Amino acid sequence: AYIVLPNGEAKKVDLGRFTLRDLPVTAGSIIFVPPDTTSLSGFEVTELVAGLVSNIASAALGIGAIVNQ
C-alpha cells in the first residue's frame, strides 16, 4: 500500500503491521492499495492503469479548479 501526501510525496507502507500512529497520514492524504496483478491478462492490467491515470487526472483538474478560484 502507498500513502500519497498532499504535497505529492508517496510513501510505501506495510499494512501487515498497521498501526495508526506509525502512518504519516495527514488531511488530504490518499491511501492507495494496488490490486494483486499476478494473475491478470495484459488487457486487464491496461484497464487498471487507464483507470488509475483517469482518477489522477480528474483529481488534478479538481485541485486546479479550486486553486484558481
Q: What is the pLDDT of residue 50?
A: 92
Looking at residue 37, what is its pLDDT?
Answer: 61
Q: What are the mean pLDDT values of the chain's consecutive 10-residue runs (69 residues total)?
A: 83 69 76 74 84 90 85
Residue 47 has a pLDDT of 87
CA-to-CA distance for 36 and 38, rounded, in angstroms?
6
pTM over 0.75: no
User: What distances in angstroms separate CA 35 from CA 8, 14, 32, 38, 60, one per listed residue?
Assistant: 21, 15, 9, 9, 22
